[in-house]
Amino acid sequence: MDKAIGGYYEIEKLSVGRGFPQQDGAFLNTGRNCLEYILTSIGNIKKAYLPYYTCIVVLEPFEKLGIPYEFYSLDEELHIKEEIQVNDNECIVYNNYFGIMDEYVCALFQKYGNKLIVDAAQALYAKRPKGLNIFYSPRKFVGLSDSGVAFVENGKNVEQYPIDDSSERMSHLFLRKEKGASAGYELFKENTDKLIMNPIRRLSVITSDLMSHIDFDEVKERRNANFAYLHKHLQGSNKLHIPALDTFECPMVYPYWTSNKSLKSFLISHAVFVATYWPNVYDWTTPEMLEHEFADNLLAIPCDQRYDSADMQRIIDLVHA
């Protein structure tokens, strides 16, 4: 049986922790709660602009706080398609897609200033210009059951929130480590569902301790090496323009836009687990919209720290099969 590539994480290899990139933020239990924390810290937001191409959980804070929102479209380079006038007491949320849009985020910050909120769930290592409202989700990069880090000017005192308990959300991490990807998948889904509409809490003691024993420098180095290897061999057939590799810090996955509509299922059938970003996009868009095409055919190819160049070559061979 082929080695499984991609999918949810197992418990991370523990070592002397180093290199966590976002040390001085507000450490909370989830990325979506980091967004809620930013929104409440800013206060008095009357309307938000959100991308069609985003995860449904991003809506949670806006619905909890009763903030109206309007969707906007992207172009083929993952840039905002049309000019958006963001007025006072409004905000615009933009995703640092796949962790490769660092340079564009900086351009948007120059344009929108503190009206911009960056969803960096896929860009853990992206640097923060001073004053940028941004949140990160470490669990998207390493084997954690929960975690989020928020940055906002004049943020609320996090001490007002209770400490979370993640002990009942970690079973899938251990099962994958000991018994493989399929063994813990159902528990992974169950544990992820437990995060839905969870109140804001501070990072749990267990998650905090685990994060302190992860070598984030090594994680970054391996991811960048794997991404570069994939890009060298796949850029010729990739319909998505990838920014120059020195313009972003560290990717979450390798985004590969293909015309081969059966490639996703083919890769999954060969134990390369390619996630769909995001199923809710089908409900929000029509088949003619670019975001619908992205959800179908922009594949999130794994390139994380669990794998090496031999694994990347196996993926390349499958893509070219």
- Comparing 287 with 189, the larger pLDDT belongs to 287
Listed residue (79, 84, 50) closest to 67, CA to CA: 50
3-class secondary-structure state, position 315: helix
pLDDT in tens, 218-274: 999 999 999 999 999 999 999 999 999 999 999 999 999 999 999 999 999 999 999
CA 249/CA 47 separation, integer angstroms: 31
Side chain identity at 159, as an amino acid letter? Answer: E
CB 100 within 8 A of CB 243: yes
β partners of residue 176: none
Confidence of residue 19 (pLDDT cuts 50, 70, 90): confident
The pTM of the full predicted model, rounded to 2 decimals, is 0.92
% of the chain with per-residue pLDDT over 70: 98
CA 88/CA 195 separation, integer angstroms: 32
CA 227/CA 316 separation, integer angstroms: 12
pLDDT in tens, 285-318: 999 999 999 999 999 999 999 999 999 999 999 9
3: pLDDT strictly greater than 90: no
1: pLDDT strictly greater than 70: no
- In this predicted structure, what is the pLDDT of residue 91? 98
CA 245/CA 243 separation, integer angstroms: 6
56-63: average pLDDT: 96
Determine the distance from the C-alpha atom of residue 115 to the mean position of all C-alpha atoms in its chain, rounded to a whole number. 21
Q: Which residue is listed with tokens 């209770």?
A: 162
Q: Which long-range contacts (CB under 8 A, 24 or more apart) does 285-289 make?
A: 285/52, 289/52, 289/73
**Which structural domains are found in the chain, ordered by start?**
26-211 (3.40.640), 215-319 (3.90.1150.10)
3-class secondary-structure state, position 145: coil
CB 19 within 8 A of CB 216: yes
114: pLDDT strictly greater than 80: yes
Q: Is 208 exposed, middle or buried, given 0-12, 13-18 or 19+ CB atoms closer than 10 A?
A: middle
Q: Find the Cα–Cα–Cα–Cα dihedral 7, 58, 81, 89, rounded to 10°.
A: -160
- Comparing 171 with 161, the larger pLDDT belongs to 161
80-101: average pLDDT: 97
Phi, psi of 141 (to 5 degrees): -115, -25
Confidence of residue 184 (pLDDT cuts 50, 70, 90): low
CA 208/CA 211 separation, integer angstroms: 5
Q: 44 Cβ partners below 8 Å, 6+ apart?
A: 89
CA 11/CA 273 separation, integer angstroms: 18
Range from 13-27, 165-179, 247-261 that averages highest in pLDDT: 247-261
- In this predicted structure, what is the pLDDT of residue 12? 72
- In this predicted structure, what is the pLDDT of residue 180? 74
Q: 242 Cβ partners below 8 Å, 6+ apart?
A: 100, 231, 235, 255
199-218: average pLDDT: 91
| Token pair recorded at residue 92 | 């615009």
Q: What mean pLDDT is reported for the chain? A: 92
Phi, psi of 267 (to 5 degrees): -65, -45
- In this predicted structure, what is the pLDDT of residue 164? 87
CB 152 within 8 A of CB 130: no
Q: Residue 228: in which H helix or E strand, if any?
A: helix 216-234
Neighbours of 116 (CB within 10 A): 20
Determine the distance from the C-alpha atom of residue 3 to the mean position of all C-alpha atoms in its chain, rounded to a whole number. 24
